[in-house]
Copies of this chain bind each other. A is one copy, B any other.
């Protein structure tokens, strides 16, 4: 038996938690809700570290509930299934992203945009009040297992590179979704502003969808990487006179203060700018209604992860075309160090925790 059943059929779990906003990670034993008829129990193999984990665990985006076990980029193996489960059997691989449940009845849920559940019942993978399970706090992927409704787990083939699959479940869907929303296809013209982890994923998807892809970056450090990914132009200026191209879509992954309005000049008429990067709230830029009118016919929208059906689609697309993030494998003991490196900007790649290690 790969898991232990506790009172009320709850499942024993071991993870790594922050006990307060200034704390370091510490081993933490807890329990997960029982495996319901539609649930699966996943033995977690890999958990990616997302920058939002840090903001949340440090209470930078509002007061977190402690102990806090972050992690919403989860890849693992199914080790038990409820009696009604049809999508998975024991031994299958599965992935869990940012959500573990939602009402399932509203229009948003019905069209599989569970992140926009109109009844406000989107349950996030960690630090979320699980109204479907007695309002208990959810614990994330920095742990050895998770119980989740099969609907909120995606199918992963057994030959997939699991440590690369984990980060796709947040970074992948975040960038894949706006490309689909803006109907990017063969011959579309796409620019990606900000060339960090999200930016690189956006570039890889857009190139594979057949778009002509340009990058806007602060400096030329990663120009060679970009060109190797199939980028046609690499700009360090977004001056409309210096940049002659005009784009169907610009995806902004920029996580620092910037002027979004200048990108509107670089869109074709009817072109769209998708915002996925989140600068710190206190320095986040805005676009004035006057700017919208003066730069008329350019549409701006935000994009927030993606629904479960689209997450499966993204995963299938990624595996089919070998699109993965650059990752660096660490042990649970190295989470604190990884957080430091991410905060100071020293991190080069996506950290993924090998949860089979202690």
Residues of A within 8 A of B (CB): 108, 111, 113, 115-116, 181, 252, 260, 269-270, 272, 275-279, 281, 284-304
Given A278-B289, A288-B285, A303:B296 Cβ within 8 A: yes
Shortest distance from the beta carbon of A159 to any chain B beta carbon, whole Å: 33
State the CA gap A313–B295 with chains docked (Å): 23
State the CA gap A304–B269 with chains docked (Å): 12
Inter-chain contact A292/B281, CB cutoff 8 Å? no
A300 surroundings in chain B (CB, below 8 A): 287, 292, 299-301
State the CA gap A286–B292 with chains docked (Å): 10
Inter-chain contact B275/A260, CB cutoff 8 Å? no
Inter-chain contact A291/B302, CB cutoff 8 Å? yes
- Nearest opposing residue in chain B for A181, CB measure: B297
Inter-chain contact A116/B269, CB cutoff 8 Å? yes
- Nearest opposing residue in chain B for A261, CB measure: B286
Number of copies of this kind of chain in the complex: 2
A303 surroundings in chain B (CB, below 8 A): 293, 296-297
With beta carbons under 8 angstroms apart, the residue of B181, B275, B281, B289 that contacts A252 is: B289
Shortest distance from the beta carbon of A318 to any chain B beta carbon, whole Å: 21
Given A116-B297, A300-B299, A287:B286 Cβ within 8 A: yes
A269 surroundings in chain B (CB, below 8 A): 108, 111, 113, 116
Given A300-B299, A301-B299, A285:B293 Cβ within 8 A: no
State the CA gap A289–B108 with chains docked (Å): 22
- Nearest opposing residue in chain B for A297, CB measure: B301
A113 surroundings in chain B (CB, below 8 A): 269, 297
12 residue pairs A–B, Cβ–Cβ below 8 Å? A252-B289, A284-B290, A286-B287, A287-B300, A292-B301, A292-B302, A296-B301, A296-B304, A297-B301, A298-B301, A300-B300, A300-B301
Inter-chain contact B289/A260, CB cutoff 8 Å? yes
Inter-chain contact A116/B296, CB cutoff 8 Å? yes
With beta carbons under 8 angstroms apart, the residue of B108, B116, B272, B287 that contacts A287 is: B287
Inter-chain contact B275/A293, CB cutoff 8 Å? yes
Inter-chain contact A284/B289, CB cutoff 8 Å? yes
A285 surroundings in chain B (CB, below 8 A): 288-289
A276 surroundings in chain B (CB, below 8 A): 293
Shortest distance from the beta carbon of A320 to any chain B beta carbon, whole Å: 26
State the CA gap A171–B155 with chains docked (Å): 54
Shortest distance from the beta carbon of A264 to any chain B beta carbon, whole Å: 9
Inter-chain contact A288/B286, CB cutoff 8 Å? yes
Given contacts A278-B293, A284-B290, A297-B302, 11 further A-B contacts (CB under 8 A): A116-B296, A181-B297, A275-B293, A278-B290, A279-B290, A287-B300, A292-B300, A294-B302, A296-B302, A297-B304, A298-B302
